[in-house]
């Protein structure tokens, strides 16, 4: 029987002892590691008197030494996909990555930022970069989208230029060609949407663009993409020209999440030191998760800007629905989530829901209050009341007050991330954990219910990231008592910034034959 103590907000209130034991840490410190391990071994042996399930073995027999040094390696080469709007760039990206990562919809302009994905072909790893549609003389948001596409070309090692094979070369395509010639990058010309031999007449005319032989493909059905990738891999260098060095395990992954227009993209741009992401006053500008390597606090991080979540998943539709799925996937791939809240607006139900999404995904958590430099004393008073009332369940999360627009206090973010990730990976030895619970339960035993008092037989931490604790008990522990154990675990071993899971396995004593 498993139960996550931190996510049961509807359970009974936390157990409150008549007199709180404030000498627990002192008594724990007086117990040597040898004594703690001896106690745990005795308790573990005592479990043989109880009926254990088959799945208990995996929990009880784990290796506590699971951390290795990760050397640095050169980044893989980058392959950028560009073209005018609605020629099928994102569909081609999904075909190459064998996924549905890129948001695709039958309207132009869904992709706005340059978005990176890990890809592989015939044993060659590379970074695939999807871009928004490039348009000549674009204005407003469309101009910034075009600028992002040009930046992707600047940082790419090889470029795939996609045109509509059914339409042929347009004036905008010819303008793209002129831009590419200035960049002096290896370019592969792709004629997309070529689904039948009868479509080849337009493909032949693409030779006139002066980019060499066009590759006819159907990104939707996959025909021709193998030949294209063979040529792309052949043109790639061994390592990225602009990628630098990254750990073999990859930089720590940080997901920026929050409601639309709270400043996620502005923060990423400020941290990157460039206009990495399209920023516009229109809410919902970011649709795809956008990855960027950021140097912060003396180390490299992989930040992921995500689409703003404006409603419940079952209420979203179209590209907004798929963008929400990709935000959840970005959270699942991340190690720590930075939830941005705008101090100009009251903490909303949607803010609370997004925070719970991050907690439920098991990520480490940092809460960043944006636009702090614009807040007056009256708003600060009401904000603190809202935090106390609505966010008490994540009081353990580090809090950073920042300004994404000016970069004020952005240097405070790295220490908060480090703290949260350290807690996320923290492991408590079996001996120390059982010593803690033994002292805690001796001072504050579980209340008697129906004439019975459940006991904790043994405890172990089978995994980290997030830390997960399993208690073998003789009976069901009250939700309030489990919440009390969770709080004291946090206070004693410092799990600042990380959710922790405490579950039970109720086991009965073996019947004597």
Question: 410-414 long-range CB contacts below 8 Å, 24 or more apart?
Answer: 410/267, 410/270, 410/271, 410/296, 411/297, 413/271, 413/296, 413/297, 413/338, 413/366, 413/368, 414/296, 414/297, 414/298, 414/299, 414/301
Answer whether 434's CB lies under 8 Å from 456's CB. Answer: no
What is d(CA 213, CA 171) in angstroms, rounded to the nearest whole number?
A: 19
Known binding-site residues for GTP equal: 83-90, 130-134, 192-195, 258-265, 305-309, 370-373
Distances (CA, A) of 19 to 16, 23, 322, 447: 8, 12, 52, 14
Which residues, at least 6 apart from 324, have a Cβ–Cβ distance to it below 8 Å?
307, 309, 313, 316
Give the count of beta carbons closer than 10 Å to the beta carbon of residue 229: 23
Distances (CA, A) of 123 to 119, 151, 229, 233, 248: 10, 27, 12, 10, 17
Per-position DSSP letters for 92-159, written without gaps between them: HHHHHHTS--S---SSTT---S-EEEEEEETTEEEEEEE-PPP-TT--HHHHHHHHHHHHHHHH-SEE
HEC string of 11-48 equals: CCCCCCCCCCCCCHHHHHHCCCHHHHHHHHHHHHHHHH
Known binding-site residues equal: 83-90, 130-134, 192-195, 258-265, 305-309, 370-373
Which residues, at least 6 apart from 224, have a Cβ–Cβ distance to it below 8 Å?
194, 215, 216, 217, 218
Which residue shows structure tokens 């390597």? 293
Per-position DSSP letters for 199-265, written without gaps between them: GHHHHHGGGGGSSSS-EE--TTT-TTHHHHHHHHHHHS-SS-SS--EEETT-SEEEEEE-STTSSHH
The phi, psi pair for 241, rounded to 5°, reads -70, -35
What is d(CA 363, CA 394) in angstroms, rounded to the nearest whole number?
A: 13
Which residue shows structure tokens 């930046």? 151
């Amino acid at each position: 029987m498993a139960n996550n103590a931190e996510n049961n907000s509807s359970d009974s209130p936390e157990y409150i002892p008549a007199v709180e034991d404030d000498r627990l840490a002192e008594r724990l410190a007086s117990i040597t590691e040898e004594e703690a391990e001896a106690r745990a071994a005795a308790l573990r042996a005592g479990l043989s008197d109880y009926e254990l399930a088959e799945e208990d073995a995996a929990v009880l027999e784990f290796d506590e030494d699971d951390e290795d040094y990760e050397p640095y390696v050169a980044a893989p080469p980058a392959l950028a996909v560009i073209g005018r709007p609605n020629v099928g760039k994102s569909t081609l990206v999904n075909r190459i990555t064998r996924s549905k990562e890129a948001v695709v919809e039958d309207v132009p302009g869904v992709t706005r930022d340059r978005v990176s994905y890990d890809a592989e072909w015939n044993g060659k790893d590379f970074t695939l970069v999807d871009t928004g549609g490039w348009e000549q003389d674009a204005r407003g948001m469309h101009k910034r989208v075009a600028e992002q596409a040009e930046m992707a070309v600047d940082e790419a090692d090889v470029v795939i230029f996609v045109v509509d094979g059914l339409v042929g070369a347009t004036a905008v395509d010819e303008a793209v060609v002129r831009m590419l010639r200035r960049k002096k990058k290896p370019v592969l010309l792709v004629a997309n949407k070529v689904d039948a031999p009868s479509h080849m007449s337009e493909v032949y005319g693409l030779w006139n663009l002066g980019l060499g032989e066009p590759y006819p493909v159907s990104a939707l059905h996959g025909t021709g993409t193998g030949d294209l990738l063979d040529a792309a891999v052949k043109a790639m260098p061994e390592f990225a020209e602009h990628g630098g060095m990254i750990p073999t395990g990859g930089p720590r992954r940080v997901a920026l999440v929050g409601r639309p227009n709270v400043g996620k993209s502005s923060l990423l741009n400020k941290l990157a030191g460039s206009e990495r992401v399209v920023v516009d006053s229109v809410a919902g500008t970011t649709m795809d998760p956008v990855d960027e390597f950021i140097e912060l606090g003396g180390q490299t991080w992989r930040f992921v800007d995500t689409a703003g979540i404006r409603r419940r998943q079952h209420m979203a539709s179209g590209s907004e629905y798929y963008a929400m799925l990709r935000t959840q996937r970005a959270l699942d791939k991340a190690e720590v989530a930075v939830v941005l809240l705008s101090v100009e607006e009251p903490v909303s139900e949607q803010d609370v829901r997004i925070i719970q999404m991050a907690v439920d995904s098991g990520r480490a958590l940092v809460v960043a209050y944006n636009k702090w430099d614009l807040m007056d004393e009256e708003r600060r008073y009401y904000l603190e009341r809202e935090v106390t009332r609505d966010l008490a369940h994540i009081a353990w999360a580090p809090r950073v007050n920042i300004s994404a627009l000016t970069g004020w206090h952005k240097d405070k973010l790295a220490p908060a991330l480090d703290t949260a990730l350290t807690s996320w990976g923290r492991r408590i030895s079996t001996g120390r954990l059982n010593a803690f619970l033994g002292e805690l339960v001796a001072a504050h035993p579980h209340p008697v219910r129906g004439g019975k008092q459940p006991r904790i037989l043994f405890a172990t931490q089978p995994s980290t990231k997030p830390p997960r604790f399993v208690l073998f008990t003789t009976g069901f522990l009250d939700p309030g008592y489990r919440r009390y154990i969770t709080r004291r675990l946090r206070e004693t071993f410092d799990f600042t910034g990380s959710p922790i899971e405490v579950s039970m396995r109720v086991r009965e004593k073996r019947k004597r034959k």
